[in-house]
Structure 1
Amino acid sequence: MGSGGGPAGPFGRLLRELRQDRRLTIEELAEASGVSGRAIGDMERGRSRRPHRGTVTALAQGLELDEPAHARLLAAARAARPGPQQAESVRVSPHTLPRGVRDFVGRQGELAELRALAREAAEGGEGRDAPAPPAAVVYGPPGSGKTTLAVRLAEGLTSSCPDGAFLVDMRGLDERPLPADQVLSGLLGSWGVPDAELAGLGAEELLARYRDLSARLRAVLVLDNAGSEDQIRPLLPREGRLLVVVTSRRTLAGLEGVRRVELGALNRQESAALLRAVVGTGRVDAEPAAANVVTELCGHLPLALRVAANWAATRTSWSLRRLADRLADEDRRLDALSAGDLRVNSAFALSYSRLAPEAARMFRLLSLVPGGDFGVPPAAVLAGVSLPEAEDLLEELLEAGLLLTARQDRYRLHDLLRLYAASRHRAEDGTEGSLAARSRLRHWLLDTAVLAGRWYEPDYGMPPADPGRLVALDDREQAARWIRTEGDSWLAAFREAAAAGEHTRVAEVAEAMHWFSDHWVSWGHWVEVYERAAAAGAALGDAGLEATHRNYLAWAYWACARRHHEAVDAALCALCLAEGAGDTLQQAWAHAYLGWLRDAVDDLPPAADHYRRAMELFTEADDVNGYLQVCCGVVRLMRATGRPQEAVETYRGIMETLADPRHRDRIPPNVRDFTTLSAVYSVSFVHLDRGDWREAADALRGIRGQFDARGWHKQASKVHLHLAHALARLGERAEAAAEYRAVLWLEGLVPAEVREDARTGLAALAGGRPAPPPRFTL
């Protein structure tokens, strides 16, 4: 009979060769490494060809391999595994629930209490007279499993929460905790509100929009790692069926009307159950006394227990007594962790001590990653290794329990593990090594940010091909996805560059982001970006550069923060600087921004003067893109001041400029498309005002669907509504009805008055009555 295994592969042959060179039997290697003799035999004979990296590391330590031999063994193991599959290009919400642990145990009483609360939320009433939906605060010490419990709860609520589960890391322990308005914007974006609409909402409107949408959701929202009541209070819904679960180290006593669920250490039975789930029932039940010692040394904290248990799980031939002895030894040698008197340091140290040198180095370096979660490329940059090598190292840390998974293909460090990694980094790598790694990551993040942002700049577009690039930036979608996903990280690198006095670098990054920023107005950090960039220009003594970023700052103050007075001051400062420097182009932009700002508050005569001067200066500077942008503003202004014919003539000038073959290569496709869309949309209002129904219908048909594709639902609804009005007056009733219904399909995404106009128009069509006089508003 056959043995059931194939011929030994390269890994099996190399393992046997290394063992025999050291004159070790399989049993002796099992004793030295902690890997079972049966597993070693299976690997050598080719029955097990895909060993985990942690197992390979344990074998290397048992064989006492030097680094080159260890690297050979790892390479052979990697070659035996299937290659990585190409990741699908899927847009994932930044608030997607992370994957829960498979071996969750205990906390049954707490889960029952929270599930009862979820049922109460699901059965709650609707409308303003109904009581507010219940909310819970899960609090307890670090490492007690608060996030794990909340995720476990959310995973089990799919039937009662059909609209999904969402998690926001509030970063309550960070130097800059996440402010409530940023959370509101992020959640609304995840719930389908377009960025363009979010950008136009003030603080009170943002909160009102959140309350309106959340009242209609049957979902669970986890606000993880909250630091204060101020972060949470605006996010608690007043009506509806949205269950909010907050996790925090604090009780958040200032929050009223919430259910508090305390998490402490596990009891002895739960601790033993967690050990059984990870290590195996047979091993734990065979050594109950040793298992008790292990749980005591880990302080019955889930995080410490899981780390220690993962260490034991890869060393199946070692007893739990051996694990307990090692934990006790580590406990004697190490100081208490800065988080308090938690007994976690010994468990961390034990797993850390058994890592391969390169994995241990990666763990230490990860303490330098800014932001909440991270992907493989930043880790590869920090460690100076390839993407496959970095992924292998991260998976080894994940297997050892020293790293956690986050959304999609990303990872995160528990804050206690980050503290421990930072302490080892300071002790083992020194200041010089830390500075070098931090600088390496900062330069890569900012280099990539510049390349991604320039996809949107008229004079750049697609970056040159580079086979060594760690992230795909082959189109605008990929570039935008990287900028958004790594926003916290590249912003932290940007701040570091500013603090280090890298003024040219700061200005370069801010410039690269200028055209993209229109696509992410709701981000919440553009004011800071352009304040720092303007300061960098001033520090360099470059008046033209400072004027450029003061102009961008004027946009950010108004478009992103609704700080009109400061926006005007920034544009006036830019104009003064540009005039002093003789910079015609920045003078043009300053007048353009001042016209836009005056127009926004209906201060129309000064707006017209600024627009006219901007057009003259853009013509003098031969900047066709700036000229076209101002012209679109002039169309709106001429309509607002009762000069429809001038508005139409300006529109015709825009279209002639776009069609001019001399400008074919000077106007990027994205600028050309947006200019056409903006100009046609603006002039359609002139046709509607004058009752030119055929011209209005032809114009609106030409841009129908384009705002929808961009996610700009408010403008999309106006196109459908106004087209319906025009078609109804032309007697094209069937198409008009279809357009009215298209507005109603956008329920929850467009203003209530737009939906009401659509209902009124549809009812008039159905009843054969003339529709009421329409209101044509931008």
Structure 2
Amino acid sequence: MERGRSLRPHRGTVTALGQGLQLDDAGHAELLAAARAARPGPSPAVPAAVSPYALPRGARDFVGRHRELAHLRTVVALAAANGGAAERATHPLAPPVVVVCGAPGSGKTTLALRLAEESASVFPDGAFLLDMQGLDDQPLSAEQAVVRLLDAWGVDDADLAPHSAEECLARYRTITSRLRAVLVLDNAGSEAQIRPLLPREGRLLVVVTSRRTLAGLEGVQRAELGALDDEESVSLLRAVVGAARVDAEPEAARSVTELCGHLPLALRVAANWVATRTNWSLQRLADRLADEDRRLDALSAGDLRVNAAFSLSYSRLDPLAARMFRLLSLVPGRDFGVPLAAVVAGVPLPDAEDQLEELLEAGLLMTSPGDRYRFHDLLRLYASARHRAEDGTTSAATQSRLRSWLLDTAVVAGRWYEPGFGTPPPDPGRLVALDDRDQALRWIKAEKDNWLSAFREAAENGEHARVTEVAEAMHWFSDNWVSWGNWTEIYRRSAEAAAALADLALEATHRNYLAWAHWACDHNHAAAVDAATRALGLATAAADVVQEAWAHVYLSWLRSAVDDLASAADHVSLAMELFDRADDINGYLTAANVTIRVLEKAGRTREALKTYQEVMDALASPGNRDRISPSVRDVTTLVATHNVAFIHFNRGRWDAAVEALRSIRGQFEARGLYEQAGRVHLMLAHALAHLGKDSEAAAEYRAVLALQDRIPAAVLEEARTSLTGVVAGRPNPPTRFG
């Protein structure tokens, strides 16, 4: 608290104060209540807007590893230099890569974090950590890692969505060639995961941690971590427990280090326990470690036994914190926040926070970005073993409670984006604040692994209505996170659930969603056409006019993508008729915007302009004022104006094109749609150049170049070439666009 690292005293600190003051049980309870009362108000928690790939808090009492750190610092210096600018231009060098390998609990991640933290001044663009999940049944693929890192580096999801894995990788390599940062790829499982992520040029330092040596990676530096030596082990005890206590009992200190196998994780867990128990001697700790090692189940890391340290800290926990520790092993995701822990344990938020902080102080949990917590994988195994041994049949009830809460909250969060919903009704049991779209988006992303696992479990349990409810709630949200990579699975499962319910109209709805996912997310045209065609058949059989219309919209979109414009026009014309028959103004406007683009591509500009005017008239009609939500109205106006700008430009109506484009300039950027924003600036620049307004055109070309890391290389090159021509007094803008 004095150093500004915490805003409130943790439970373990209060306990230590109570012991130091020799308080009785009543006095200790009063002190704890006072500490709780000093906290900020008990408003529902919400994940902070923190990048999930920021570095977590490192160990402040890091010791030892002098030889390894000296080697790594040499690599840092090499990465920082990597030749001068002229040398890099003529003889580009691949940035150095370090693989830190060793047994579980040997401190690989801690060492990588220490290196990243102390190198901050050398790498001004920051440091990032991505868990490659190498020990999971489904490790993170290189393609998934690329998307997550591009997101961390400011490339918007909407800009990534239209591009293939190869194009995203090319963007990744462009950015890494310029980035001066540290990238920690933690917990790697194989060479195949890592190889595509290694930069070919630039000054990005990559540090990989793995239990394996990853011998198949060529041209990398390696630092293999074993157990600490005697001196380093004692130094770690001194750093955590205090020099005076350790130096007073040198023999007992050596016994403790030996009983912990000189493994950093085991040493830290044991030392954290005794550090807050000032009435414990190190000899008492050593005796307990020896006793626990004989009578508790073994948990090993290779040939290093660490169960003694875990068992000691666990057995001395407050009973409620011990129960929390066991139940957290049921959390399916990589990390979790206080609200989820409160649900797992069935306790109020303040109690959950107390218990999590006690586990953190005991070394049984680690921190994660955004006020979240996570297990070391060995400790998760240990917690799971204790849960099986002590809790018996409570798992099913706890898992059901957790699943229900995750899916209920996912529905509420997703519906922020669904027309007709918005602000959810008050619910004191919700535990998280979902008062606006940003909070909803942050929760969905922060808890993605947890609610997705709950969704999968519901599907496998045959909870068909529940599956379709969650998928429906996420439908409008999914447009805001196309690159996530799991929407196809979600809508495949929801379509199967609807089929199991024998509800033709519901299945048609989710087959339509699946068509969107196949094309927008996977770029699988054939699968998307199949899903939309099946949706059309189901909707027709169910006499569901709205879903028939949506199927025609998707089929028009898909036919247009392969330049089958006659078929695309037929489908979207049918869609507009059906939406009109159903009096669905929101669907009608969507179809109308698709129609404008299809007709323009087909050269039927007069019909396209007529449709554009119909859209604008519908938006202006007083009868539609309350039927069109503000968000739909704004997006419809933006897309329609963007589409009509193409028509004006391609007909050589430069003044009309400039007027349309200036009215929407900046709106795509505000929505994070940077590729579309770049094309608006580029088209506007070309139109201005045609009008002889060279200085204004140059400003728009420069606006395209300012988006250099967020838009395709072809758009940048066109802007760069055109700017050169304008500056030289030889503008040569194209007469067609898009």
TM-score by length of 2: 0.94
- Measure the CA separation in 2 of the matches of 1:627 and 1:167: 45
Instruction: Give the corresponding residue for 1:533.
Output: 494
Q: How does 1:533-552 map to 2 (within 5 A)?
A: 533-552=494-513
SS in 1 for 2:329: helix
Shift of 1:122: 2.0
1:191 counterpart letter in structure 2: W
Instruction: Give the corresponding residue for 1:467.
Output: 428
Instruction: Give the corresponding residue for 1:123.
Output: 81
Identity of aligned residues (%): 68
The range that moved more, 205-214 or 737-746, is: 737-746
Change in 2 beyond 3 A, CA 1:467/1:325: same
Change in 2 beyond 3 A, CA 1:69/1:594: farther
Change in 2 beyond 3 A, CA 1:285/1:351: same
1:413 aligns with 2:375: yes
8 Å CA contact retained: 1:161, 1:219: yes
Change in 2 beyond 3 A, CA 1:293/1:746: same
Instruction: Give the corresponding residue for 1:773.
Output: 733
Shift of 1:667: 1.7
- Measure the CA separation in 2 of the matches of 1:400 and 1:188: 36
Instruction: Give the corresponding residue for 1:18.
Output: none
SS in 2 for 1:260: strand
Change in 2 beyond 3 A, CA 1:485/1:128: farther
The range that moved more, 665-674 or 733-742, is: 733-742
Q: How does 1:332-731 map to 2 (within 5 A)?
A: 332-337=294-299, 339-431=301-393, 433-731=394-692
Change in 2 beyond 3 A, CA 1:64/1:585: farther
The range that moved more, 357-366 or 266-275, is: 357-366
2:546 counterpart letter in structure 1: L
8 Å CA contact retained: 1:336, 1:342: no
The range that moved more, 77-86 or 463-472, is: 77-86
8 Å CA contact retained: 1:404, 1:413: yes
- Measure the CA separation in 1 of the matches of 2:469 and 2:42: 35
Change in 2 beyond 3 A, CA 1:51/1:220: closer
Shift of 1:65: 12
Instruction: Give the corresponding residue for 2:96.
Output: 134
1:161 aligns with 2:123: yes
- Measure the CA separation in 1 of the matches of 2:248 and 2:20: 25
Change in 2 beyond 3 A, CA 1:356/1:705: same
SS in 1 for 2:128: strand
2:232 counterpart letter in structure 1: E
SS in 1 for 2:155: coil
The range that moved more, 668-677 or 447-456, is: 668-677
- Measure the CA separation in 2 of the matches of 1:142 and 1:285: 29
Change in 2 beyond 3 A, CA 1:90/1:730: farther
2:595 counterpart letter in structure 1: V
2:473 counterpart letter in structure 1: A
Aligned partner of 1:183 among 137, 145, 149: 145
8 Å CA contact retained: 2:498, 2:504: yes
1:772 counterpart letter in structure 2: N
- Measure the CA separation in 2 of the matches of 1:533 and 1:57: 50
Change in 2 beyond 3 A, CA 1:152/1:563: same
RMSD between superposed Cα atoms in Å: 2.3
Shift of 1:752: 3.0
1:276 aligns with 2:238: yes
- Measure the CA separation in 2 of the matches of 1:128 and 1:388: 60
Change in 2 beyond 3 A, CA 1:201/1:275: same
Instruction: Give the corresponding residue for 2:269.
Output: 307
Q: How does 1:53-68 map to 2 (within 5 A)?
A: 53-54=11-12
1:195 counterpart letter in structure 2: D
Q: How does 1:219-368 map to 2 (within 5 A)?
A: 219-337=181-299, 339-368=301-330
8 Å CA contact retained: 2:61, 2:236: yes
2:732 counterpart letter in structure 1: P
The range that moved more, 643-652 or 726-735, is: 726-735
SS in 2 for 1:336: coil
8 Å CA contact retained: 2:10, 2:354: no
SS in 1 for 2:391: helix
- Measure the CA separation in 2 of the matches of 1:508 and 1:674: 25
Change in 2 beyond 3 A, CA 1:774/1:85: farther
Residue segments in structure 1 that go unaligned for 5+ positions in a row = 1-49
Shift of 1:773: 3.1
Shift of 1:408: 2.6
Change in 2 beyond 3 A, CA 1:530/1:238: same
Instruction: Give the corresponding residue for 2:5.
Output: none
TM-score by length of 1: 0.90
1:612 counterpart letter in structure 2: S
Question: 1:173-198 deviations in whole A, cap 9, x for unaligned?
Answer: 11221111111001011112121121
1:332 counterpart letter in structure 2: R
Instruction: Give the corresponding residue for 1:744.
Output: 705
8 Å CA contact retained: 2:131, 2:186: yes
8 Å CA contact retained: 1:127, 1:239: no
- Measure the CA separation in 2 of the matches of 1:396 and 1:447: 29
8 Å CA contact retained: 2:94, 2:202: yes
Question: 1:485-544 deviations in whole A, cap 9, x for unaligned?
Answer: 111111011011111111100000000000010110000000110011011011111111
Change in 2 beyond 3 A, CA 1:88/1:618: closer
2:49 counterpart letter in structure 1: R
SS in 1 for 2:183: strand
Instruction: Give the corresponding residue for 1:78.
Output: 35
8 Å CA contact retained: 1:54, 1:355: no
Instruction: Give the corresponding residue for 1:104.
Output: 62
1:478 counterpart letter in structure 2: Q
Shift of 1:88: 9.6
1:147 aligns with 2:109: yes
Shift of 1:746: 1.6
- Measure the CA separation in 2 of the matches of 1:644 and 1:128: 51
Change in 2 beyond 3 A, CA 1:88/1:336: closer
